[in-house]
Amino acid sequence: MDVELRPKLVGQRIKRFEDPRLLTGAGRFVDDITPPGTLFLAFRRSDHPHALIKSIDLGSALSVPGVVAVFDATDIENDLRPAIPSSRMKGYYATPLWPLARGKVRYVGEPVLAVAAESRYAAEDALDRIQIDYESLPFANRAEDAVADGAPLLHEDAGTNAIVVRSFGRGDVDAAFAGAAFSVGATFRLRRKTPVAIENRCYLAEWDKRRSALTLHSSTNIPGVIRDVLSDCLDLPGNRLRVIAPDVGGSFGSKGSLYPEEMLVAVLARKLQRPIKWTSDRLEDLASTSQAFDEIMQAELAVDADGRLLGLKADVIGDIGAYSIYPWTGALEPVQVVSFMPGPYRLENYQARVRGVVTPKAPTGPYRGVGRPAATFAMERLIDMAARRLGLDPAEMRRRNLITAPEFPYRSASGIIWDRSGFQECLQAACDKANYDSLLRKRDEARAEGRWVGIGFASYAELTGIGSRISVAPGMPINTGTETATIRIDATGSITAAFGIASHGQGLETTLAQVIADELGCRIEDIEIQHGDSALVPMGTGTYASRSAVLGGGAATLSARVVRTKVLKAAAHLMELPVDKLVAHNGIVSAPGSNQSITFKEIANAVYAQMGRIPHNAREDLVASETYDPYFGTATSATHLAMIEIDTGTYGVTVTRYVVAEDCGRVINPMIVDGQVQGAVAQGIGVALLEEVIHDDDGQIVTASLADYLIPIAGTMPPIGIVHVETVLPPTQGGFRGMGEGGTIGAPAAIANAVSDALSAMGIEITTLPITPDRIFQLITQQGSLPQ
């Protein structure tokens, strides 16, 4: 068969190699590992939002059987340096990160002291016997209060609570608004949420006295970043500090930052010279794992009489919580809200200001979609509000404004360069897949019966697979733009491919093997993918920001090609044929047109184990280590279409139809992409309808269990239809675009638009998410249009 016509593995629904172990309970998560002699930590956390620590009385804590030691900040002061989430951004204040509160607490849930004991039970029993006296300090609980002049400061050294301030401007916004037919605007509010990976965070550190070396098993998706920062904090070189992320039970961003508990287990393993483990419980997770969103977005859109977008103004306050998170900084979420607000649309005039404000709440950090769910919520609502004003169909409104094929590459009003992606095509595909005209008829029939049914769209574009041209987080001085793959064929002919990425549900052990098998010409079952270990490659930052298929796949491609060339050269010697006559496929090198062939195993044996089979001055190890840098990123685009019904008695919203049409370039494994999209949409539906971290006026967290903080369940999730649109392949290696986050970007806006559509007869526009039954009730009663 012609080489080009041979079936490729990329594009196939290959069953995941991860699954047999995970399906049988043989997965190995950090908490499944307990070396002999392990001590378990339990934390006493602040129950004050803002207070000075006046005194700590250990009482009889140390007399609880099994308790070994208790530590507060003063006990470890000389054991480490803090982590500083620095940024190149002007006027930014980096809050230092220490493992335990030093003299002052800044949110309910902040770790104050830790008990180390022979069991978690003993450690927790000891916590109850410790008395901490606090002196309460004034605090501003809401971001809009914290940003005001004279508000109590959380970090006195910063001199302000607004530790991030940035402005964008392009074109002449005032002229655009002056010349507009009309404008629409509102203050949008995306409430605080928390990621809720089902595996809670867990860290296990072991000190190797013989080598003076530390191994940290961490439920992290950035093991390389953690290695690098702890190297500085602990003053340990990288060859004596290894961070391993074994099976990791989901992250969605929550395990993509450095945590105080993570630092402390490392410090104490060295200090006590015993294995130290801490496993979060769910209460601690809901109180202290990085949270997300929490924005107030004042936005206004100017439109001409034909519905064309003329100008956009945005003023955003992001409530970033008590600390700027390492390494992403508190700029990550709010700055991206204004960066992405112009969306996938043709829009030349834009003016925006953003302030990231510290408040006494758990730090916010990366969460699936970062900034774009909020930006898309505001912009897509404005698009629908403008369409309603014009009496224009929302699909047609988008069609008129989405960037069209000839306009790419398009520089957005905030400076993002969109490469060609299916902006228009996804809109059309979503309408076709859902049979939009028939949905409209069904909606209108339902309304005629007095039911509250609505349809909503959301179109968005995001930058994925970002290379070294820009940092994933604005101003962050860490290189997030490269990844390395080391591929080697050993003397037995088996293949190992090692990466700096850290798969935690994405199925990268499968998709990267598909890429390598195609490029190297080996059998997929001969490949072992290694990842989630800082020792595998010199530098790798991990899996986040929809980057691993693009960067990991790109590095895999480059390395596999080098190894294939070496395999073919060795085979050429063994077969006594010119190298350009040979092809590799399925683990066999053959010469088309002849019946000569040799297996990879035979080649490896000849290269490594047999002296003289290959001339000594031509012999090369069958290894390669290449690094890929896509330099720019590439645009992934999509349109979501949701149909919802509101129960007229309970005001509960049910999603009855959901369709996603996305362009993620070449699909490596459709089954895996479907899973990413469906899972992300479910989280987006959670954002839209359920999920909200609530603090009361005293700064206490009210949503402190999974009975109070609700996430989507099987009973209420709709089936999710997906169309993969492949327009033009992007210039990334392999033509891949990232698709890990998009579902969560589109769904909140699509649902918000659908609910607004359902309530349009009452003149209600949704401006706050989540849309709980209580909020719908409030909106309807405020309008005075409560039906009988």
Partner 1 sequence: MAKTYVSATINGESAEFLCETQQTLLDVLRDVIGLTGSKEGCGSGDCGACSVIVDDRLVCSCLMLGVEAEGKSITTIEGIANGDTLHPIQQKFLEYAALQCGFCTPGLIVATKALLDENPNPTETEARYWLAGNLCRCTGYDKVIRAVMDVAADMRGEKVA
Binding-site ranges for partner 1 (CB under 8 A)? 15-16, 18-27, 29, 31-32, 34, 65, 121, 195-200, 247-250, 252, 279, 281-282, 504-507, 671-672, 674-676, 678-683, 705-707, 711-717, 719-720, 743
Considering the complex, state which of residue 93 and residue 709 has its C-beta at the smaller distance from partner 1. Answer: 709
Shortest spacing between CB 716 and partner 1, in angstroms: 8
Compute the least distance from the CB of residue 593 to partner 1, in Å. Answer: 39
Distance CA 358, CA 156 (A): 11
Peptide bond into 730 cis (omega under 30): no
Shortest approach of partner 1 to residue 325 CB, angstroms?
A: 21
Q: Which residues contact 469 (CB under 8 A, 6 or more apart)?
A: 481, 631, 632, 633
Closest CB 12 distance from partner 1, rounded Å: 12
User: Least distance in Å: CB of 586 to partner 1?
Assistant: 23
CB of 491 to partner 1, least distance (A): 28
Q: How far is the CB of 250 from partner 1 (least distance, A)?
A: 4
Q: What DSSP designation does 550 have? A: I
282 vs 400, beta carbon nearer partner 1 = 282
Q: Classify the phi-psi angles of 586: left when phi > 0, otherwise alpha if psi is within -120 to 50, otherwise beta.
A: left
Report the DSSP pairing between strands 417-418 and 410-411: antiparallel
> What interhelical angle do 423-434 and 394-401 show, nearest 10?
160
Rounded CA separation 584/518 (Å): 9
Closer residue to partner 1 in complex, CB, 277/398: 277
Q: Are 244 and 216 in contact (CB under 8 A)?
A: yes
**Single-letter residue type at 573:** H
3-state class (DSSP) for residue 772: coil
Query: Shortest approach of partner 1 to residue 762 CB, angstroms?
Result: 31
The count of other CB atoms within 10 Å of the CB of residue 705 is 9
Pairing between β-strand 292-303 and β-strand 182-193 as defined by DSSP bridges: antiparallel
* Residue closer to partner 1, measured from CB, 200 or 484: 200
Q: Provide the token pair at 364.
A: 């916010």
Q: How far is the CB of 722 from partner 1 (least distance, A)?
A: 9
The secondary element (H helix, E strand) that includes residue 659 is strand 653-663
Q: How far apart are CA 360 and CA 83, in angstroms?
A: 20
CA triple 21-25-28, angle to 5 deg: 70
Instruction: Choose between 20 and 415: whose C-beta lies nearer to partner 1.
Output: 20
Contact 43, 261 (CB under 8 A): yes
User: Cβ of residue 669: shortest distance to partner 1, in angstroms?
Assistant: 8
Structure tokens that stand for 75 in this block = 């006990």
- Report in angstroms how near the CB of residue 684 gets to partner 1 at its nearest: 10
Tell me which H or E stretch contains 410. strand 410-411
Per-position DSSP letters for 562-624, written without gaps between them:
HHHHHHHHHHHHHHTS-GGG-EEETTEEE-TTS--EEEHHHHHHHHHTSTTSS-TTT---SEE
Asked if 319 contacts 295 with a C-beta cutoff of 8 angstroms, the reply is yes
Residue 25 or 150 having the CB closest to partner 1: 25
The angle subtended at Cα 629 by Cα 627 and Cα 631, nearest 5°, is 165
When the beta carbons of 282 and 388 are compared against partner 1, the nearer one is 282
Q: How many CB atoms lie within 10 A of CB 181?
A: 15
Q: In what order do the strands lie in the sheet with 276-279?
A: 67-72, 111-117, 39-45, 276-279, 202-208, 213-218, 241-244
Question: Residue 367 or residue 452: which is nearer to partner 1 going by CB?
Answer: 367
Closer residue to partner 1 (CB): 718 or 773: 718
Closest approach, Cβ 671 to partner 1, in A, equals: 5
18 vs 626, which CB is nearer to partner 1? 18
Closer residue to partner 1, CB minimum distance, 31 or 380: 31
Phi and psi at residue 183, to the nearest 5°: -135, 155
Sheet containing 597-599: give its strands across. Answer: 583-585, 588-590, 597-599
Residue 247 or residue 519: which is nearer to partner 1 going by CB? 247
Residue type, 657: R
Comparing CB distances to partner 1, the nearer of 371 and 743 is 743
Least Å distance, CB 283 to partner 1, is 8
CA angle 691, 697, 703 (to 5 degrees): 30
3-class SS at 356? strand
> Could you tell me the sign of the dihedral formed by the alpha carbons of 329, 330, 333, 334, in that order?
negative
- Residue 327 or 507 having the CB closest to partner 1: 507
| Structure tokens belonging to residue 5 | 């016509």
| Closest CB to partner 1 among residues 510, 634 | 510
What is the nearest approach in angstroms of partner 1 to the Cβ of residue 689? 14
Output 155 or 277, the one with its CB closest to partner 1. Answer: 277
Q: Residue 55 or residue 705: which is nearer to partner 1 going by CB?
A: 705
CB of 504 to partner 1, least distance (A): 6
Residue 36 CB, shortest distance to partner 1, in Å, is 13
Decide whether 126 or 154 has the Cβ nearer to partner 1: 126
Beta strands in 1-150 (DSSP E): 39-45, 51-57, 67-72, 104-105, 111-117, 131-136
Minimal distance in Å, beta carbon 197 to partner 1? 6
**CA angle at 198 for the pair 200 and 188, rounded to the nearest 5°:** 100
CB of 199 to partner 1, least distance (A): 4
d(CA 775, CA 36): 52
Instruction: Kindly write down the DSSP assignment for every residue of 700-752, as one continuous string.
Output: -BS--STTTS----GGGPPP-EEEE---S--SSGGGB---SSHHHHHHHHHHH
